Each structure stands twice: as C-alpha cells, then as structure tokens.
Amino acid sequence: MSGYPFYFLVTIGSVIGLAAAALVPFYLLLVAGDFVLNRLGDVDPFSRAAKFVGLMVKNLRRNMLRTSLAYLAIFVLVLVVVGVWSILAFLDLVTAEKSRDLKAIVTERWQIPSQMPYAYAYPLSQGAPEKEGDIVIGPDDSMTWQFYGGYTEREREKQTRDNLVFFFAMEPRKVLTMMDGIEELTPEQLRQLAQAVEIMEKDKTAVVIGADRLATLNKRVGETITVYGLNYRGIDLEMKIIGELPKGRWGQIGIMNRDYLNDAIDAYPARHRGQKHPLADRSLNLVWLRVPDTEAFKKVANQIMSSSAFTNPAVKCETAASGIGSWLDAYRDLIWGMRWLLSPAILVVMSLVVANAIGISVRERRGEMAILKVLGYQPWQIMLLILGEALVIGALSGLLSATLCQVVVNEMIGGVPFGIAFFPSFKIAAAAWWWGLSIGSITALLGSIWPAWTAQRVKVAEVFAKVG
C-alpha cells in the first residue's frame, strides 16, 4: 500500500496510538499532582489552597473511566484543531506580503499553467533592464523553473500515481539560495543537500527526490531510473538518484538540472525528422526574482511588464505572496470551510463533550455537594471546584495533545499529509503547545459553566429529604 491512502492510514493510526499512549502521562500527572498537593497541604501558607486543588484531583481519580473518556475526546479534537490551524497559519504566512527581501514571480499573463519561451529566461532573470537607471537583478537573486513530470513505467496500463514523479528543473546551485523552505533544514540536511548540488552541477543526469516520493516509488539513493515524460511526451530521461530531500514541504518533489531537460528538447528534432517538440517554445514556466524592498519590486515589475520583448506571450510580475495566493484560489472554498466551519464546529463539540462528562459527574454527586455545603463550603467554592476539575482535564489534554502531535507528526511522519496546491504536507506550528493549552482550557471552562452553576445551586434540604 502506498500513496495518499497509505499516509492517511498512517495518520489515523498515529492519532489512535497517540491518544492511547497519552493516557499514561495523564495518569502519572494526576498521581504526581495528588502526591505533591498532599505534601503542600501540610505547609501552612499553602494548606488551604493545596487541599482545595487536591480535592479536584481526587474527584477526577474517583471515576477514571469517565475522566479518561473526556480526556481522550479533548485530546483527539485538540489534535485535529492544531493540525487545521497549522495548515491555515502556514498558508497565511506564505500569502502575507513582506516589506523587505521580497520574492517576485514572473509568469505568463493569460494562461495557467504558465508556459513561456525559454528565450525569456535570460532577460527576465536580470529584471528586463533596457535603459540606464533600470534595476539589474544579480545572478544570485534569480531562479528559473521548468516542470517535468513522468512515470517510471513505460507501459500505459502500469502508469499510476504511485510511479509518478514530478521535477523542478532549475540551476542546481539556486536550490541553496532561492528555494523556499531552505531555512527549515537542519545543518546535516543542508550539508547533504550542498553535496548533492555539487554533483548535479557536474552530472546533468543526477537528481534528488523527496523522501516520501522515494518511498512511494520504492526507490533508494544510488539507483538509476528512467522517467517516461508525461507533459513532455517523447522525452524520456535516465536519471541517477544521488540524494534525498527531507520529508515535509519537499517530500513529494524532485529537483533536476535544467540543462538536462533543455538538451533533450534541443535533441528532439534529430529523432523526429526535424520536427520540434510541441513544448519547445513554451518550456519556461516561472522565473523567481529577489528584490530588497517594495520600491525595488515596483520598479522591476514595471520594467518587465512594460518591455516590448515580452508581448507574445505577455507576462506578469507579482509578489510571491500574491502569486501563491492565485494558485490557492482553487482551494478557496476548502480553506474557508476549514477556517470558519470545521474549526468552530470542533470547538463546540469539545465544549459539549466536557459539559456532558461534568454534568453526569455533578448529577451523581448531588449528595456530596450537599455535604460540602453542610461543612461550610460556599456556593462559589463549589462552583470553583467543578470549574477547576474541568480545567485540569482540558489543560492537561490540550497541552499533551499539541506537544505529542508536534513531536510525532513533525519528526516521525514529516508533516500533516494534506496536499493543497503544490504543498504536499504541513508541519505542526511551533506555537502548537500553547494553542493546545488554550483550546483545552477555554473549551473545558465553557463546557463546565452550566454543570458548575447547577452544582452550586444544590439545596441541602431537598437532597437529604430524598435520602430520608
């Protein structure tokens, strides 16, 4: 089993495993908390507060089945919310406009996908300067992209999603200076990538492929593969896999030397009676440019879009944030639903779960509430006791859920395998731990307000009259 169904099953299995494993630290924290609070109860300055909080913890431990079910429900729902919010936070980040160190994207103006003549590559990479005073983009601040995709099987009936591989054809050295996400790599990953880039500069057939795609293809570093062109029909390339891109944002893609693709396009007529490949004059897909600030971007964009050299086809220049936003237009409804329907619905469900669990507990403990009142507890203290029990469950489950999710998903799975546009997966955000703590705490408090209000209104006379 491979591909997205495999990743989906892995994710579901990980959620179930995480939820079950999370019961252990939860139990340990309750036991440790009970122990510490008992000791603090003997210390004069803390005795009253410690005994009060200790009573909350003891109440949670009395019915561990109900407490565990409430905890697991919040744990799983927080995990889902954290995953959704991580996706939305990343999309917000990549579509947010910057004021410094901007990246611009040049594409064909009237067509998606963008397909421009390769002759545009050199002037666009310089920013299309035509007169004195125009901004000239340096060689380290530009990058061209060409897309090459194909199957590792020749026979049409064997060509499936599992043996499909997609490459960005570019100048290999630009991977280290211009690719988005390079800052996320560890020093060791960066060193390995630099070594691979050096080999790709010397050997045009050398490629690097994402770890997730390699696993799906059932290939390893060191193997040689033949890729049978999908978008470039008739251009089949033999490639040496000399490196592996890390899981996550780059996990499903490959990177190849653009000269290998362009040489194959140039050689196509010799094998086809002088006929050029249908994409020979439309092989350039994107040009990325880096400019220092917004003012420089406006000037470069004006240089490019007013140039008479790019009229057939016409081009457009926009910020990377705006360009990515255009790519995400097809997912606008999905993103809107995740933000305004799915997330609020989960938060409401979490509050209802807590309300149900605490409500059952309160109904079972009406006699206990009456006794507490007889012993001198005030209604507000009983209400605070119930709210505190819910807060303990919510805070612990939310914090543990988000923290474990961050470790397991980012380090073991390589990100949330939820493909949107050209982002195959998403890392759990660094802020997830306090998201989980806040979500669990707030929803637990909201869900426990009514049960707590009911508990503090228990009438001693009515309870003991029924007992009698």
Confidence class for position 422, pLDDT limits 50, 70, 90: low
Residue range 378-390, pLDDT digits in tens? 999 999 999 999 9
DSSP 286-347: EEEEEEEEHHHHHHHHHHHHH-TTSBTTBEEEEEHHHHHHHHGGGGHHHHHHIIIIIHHHHH
235 pLDDT above the threshold of 80: yes
Mean pLDDT of 306-313: 92
418 pLDDT above the threshold of 80: no
Residue range 321-348, pLDDT digits in tens? 787 777 777 788 888 898 899 999 999 9
Mean pLDDT over the full length of the chain: 87
69 pLDDT above the threshold of 70: yes
7 pLDDT above the threshold of 60: no
3 pLDDT above the threshold of 70: no
Confidence class for position 41, pLDDT limits 50, 70, 90: low
How high is the pLDDT of residue 415?
Answer: 75
Is residue 308 classed exposed, middle or buried when 0-12, 13-18 and 19+ CB atoms within 10 A define those classes?
A: exposed
User: Lowest-pLDDT range, 10-24, 62-76, 223-237, 390-404?
Assistant: 10-24
38 pLDDT above the threshold of 60: yes
37 pLDDT above the threshold of 70: yes
Residue range 170-185, pLDDT digits in tens? 999 999 988 888 888 8
